[in-house]
Amino acid sequence: MTRIKAAPPANVEKWASRISNAGWHVFSRQRRVACANVARAFPEIDGKAAIGIARASFRHAAVALVDSIRMPERQPDFVWTSPDVLGPILEKKLPAIVISGHIGNWEAAGAAIATRGGKLHLIVATPTNPGVAVLVHRLRAGWGVIPHAREKSLFPIARALRCGELVGTAVDQWPARHAVSATFLDRPTPFASGLFEYAMRTGVPMVAVWAIRTNQNTATPEYTVTTELVWDGEEPVHSAGDLVRRWVRMLESIIRRHPDQYLWMHDRWKIRCEAR
């Protein structure tokens, strides 16, 4: 990691390529899951095209990793699109729940919010490897976000929202509990509903945030940060499931526009691949 962080701009591309190629060839199960996920999500494309998208997603994941490791010393350029839903919330120091998915660079989305003075408490799944857990925690803290382990996050997020701060997470992880079903890329899929239920109880608005890589130059990365209002905290809604499904439609839309930047290797549908 130190070598990647200290690498001159001319060598950044080499690191991203090495990580991408190694991941594609070494992590065979993740490769098969990615190809299967793409094929199921886009049945209209042929096998070769599905493999191409899966391979591109490995490449993007490597680039996003390199970008994240090199932050905050080498901060990407963040371009916020209009309308900027999050802007007024940050200016008035209001609480909000910020939700994203494994599309683009979700870590960069948190860093982008921090650059605008937003105090973001991030709910995260703790890596099983203790060394990796410590490393990731240190990186996130360096980007200006405050990580909280998912299983111990209830009281910290409640306190953060009472203080007018932001709470965020990637909602397209496999839910631990409090799940609802939504049709995601034409397949029934469980999604965690806990934060959506909490928002409805407290009247805290929910904002979707996406950080999409908009150039291919690994030495000077640029991200377009898009915000969408999921719920304003006042609009009558029938259930948390309605909010989940509304957000899933937003996630689907951004994935279809940038399929190469979704983490297809993530076993979102718990696909069981035969060993080869």
**CA distance readout (Å), 10 to 4, 13, 16, 23, 118:** 12, 7, 12, 22, 32
Tell me the average pLDDT of the chain. Answer: 89
d(CA 110, CA 144): 8
Q: What's the confidence (pLDDT) of residue 270?
A: 67
Q: Distance between CA atoms of 111 and 260, rounded to whole angstroms?
A: 22
Give me the DSSP letters along 183-219.
EETTEEEEEE-HHHHHHHHHT--EEEEEEEE----SS
Residue 88: the pLDDT is 95
Ranges of the chain with pLDDT below 70:
218, 270-276
Alpha carbon distances (Å) from 150 to 114, 154, 177, 241: 20, 8, 11, 20
SS3 212: strand
- 236 CB-near residues (< 8 Å, 6+ apart): none
Q: What is the pLDDT of residue 275?
A: 33
The domain limits of the chain are 76-258
pLDDT of residue 274: 37
Q: What is the pLDDT of residue 276?
A: 31
Q: Measured between alpha carbons, how far is 135 from 65 in angstroms, rounded to an integer? A: 13
Contacts of residue 18, Cβ cutoff 8 Å, sequence gap at least 6: none
Name the token pair of 98: 């910020």
Measured at the CA of 136, the angle between CA 210 and CA 247, to 5 degrees, comes to 25
Q: What length does the chain have?
A: 276
Give me 35's structure tokens.
């190809």
**Burial, 257: exposed, middle or buried (Cβ in 10 Å; 0-12, 13-18, 19+)?**
exposed
Cα-based distances in Å from 152 to 124, 126, 148: 10, 10, 7
